[in-house]
A = this chain, B = another copy of it.
């Protein structure tokens, strides 16, 4: 306690937010149950709920008579409180989605993109899709609550500026300003892994968790650290660069794009898997991978390897398993450091979760302290490769659930 000054306004907003989040996490729930769970007086709960209903964030939804006594009026989040636009700027694509307040997708679109070509072009492309999304949303008679944008790299969330995205080769892009001017919406910008972690907390497998890690595996490996019940960002918002911890998974050490050797992510990112498959193909010719590539006129990609693995291709399965072991080594280190309730794997690589997870768990168990390992659950994100897109939605929803627009 005691990192900030409080007053009665804080008490009110804090309790409003607490109750609102409880309803979000445990709906349907009655006023009486809320009073029991929070320890607040029944009359206080009534007053808080009245205000939430007046704000159109909550509504009553029938009554529930179980046993003797007056039946309870159940409360739930008003999914029609407004629409949310989420944008994920990936390394080679743009995804946009429109959801209701509960994260249910109403509309979505994904386009390939090339950030290396021209920054302005990619921003224009994104703007165009966002405007399509808004047009689609306007057909419902509900207003927009805001827009969220998730991107790899470090972000100044207060200013809404992307500071530096190594994989995009972008620096100092004022996304918040650009998109709020064009959409007239409140725009939130967040790191992709942090956004995904928020999505798990609000909509996914970490709704009750205070301490969990989200591992975003794709071109690189990024981490969203949810600690003591909130995102941990570190001094400058750089926290979570878990991919660059030095580990030794194999004798040969690939040079990481960060310039070092032995970075964990060089053994476990999507490129490492493609390389593993390529290396196997040179030795062994029975794999169905070349055939699939020819049929689909496609380069060697993770979805294609996954497809091959599903068809029983040993080279593909083995490559995933190998990468899974490398991942597990990193997970072990994380578990020793954080003693989290959960580690959730998401991002593009997570589509191969069924092949990665057993290897991850095996190596993790071998390399982490037994007392800690027994406590930690490893899970696949229910949002898979869309984790950060849903994350972009989640950071908007989270702001509203916080009540106080001043944040913190």
Contacts and interface: CB of A to CB of B under 8 A. Distances in A.
A118 interface: no
A1 B404 contact: yes
B339 A234 contact: yes
Interface in A1-45: 1-8, 10-11, 13-15, 17-18, 21, 38-40
A238 B337 CA distance: 8
A235 B6 contact: no
A1 B229 CA distance: 9
Instruction: Count this chain's copies in the assembly.
Output: 2
* Interface residues of A, dominant DSSP: loop
A25 to B, nearest CB: 12
Contacts of A332: 244-246
Given A235-B339, A260-B367, A1 B15 contact: no
Interface string A146-161: 0000000010000000
Interface residues of A, number: 70
Contacts of A237: 339
Contact of A211 (B235, B248, B366): B235
B235 A340 contact: yes
A408 interface: yes
Contact of A14 (B2, B18, B260, B404): B2
A248 B247 CA distance: 6
A298 interface: no
27 contacts: A1-B13, A1-B402, A2-B17, A2-B21, A2-B402, A3-B228, A5-B40, A164-B371, A227-B232, A234-B338, A234-B339, A235-B341, A236-B339, A236-B371, A238-B372, A238-B375, A239-B337, A241-B337, A241-B372, A244-B332, A244-B369, A245-B332, A246-B247, A246-B248, A246-B329, A246-B332, A247-B247
A384 interface: no
A54 interface: no
A86 B239 CA distance: 34
Nearest to A408: B1
Interface string A371-408: 11001100000000000000000000000001010011
Given A211-B234, A244-B369, A245-B333, 15 more contacts: A2-B402, A5-B15, A211-B232, A228-B232, A232-B232, A241-B369, A242-B337, A243-B336, A244-B336, A246-B247, A246-B332, A246-B333, A247-B248, A248-B248, A248-B262
Given A1-B402, A8-B8, A10-B11, A238 B333 contact: no
A247 B363 CA distance: 15
A258 interface: yes
Contacts of A6: 6, 10-11, 14-15
A66 to B, nearest CB: 25
B39 A18 contact: no
A38 B4 CA distance: 8
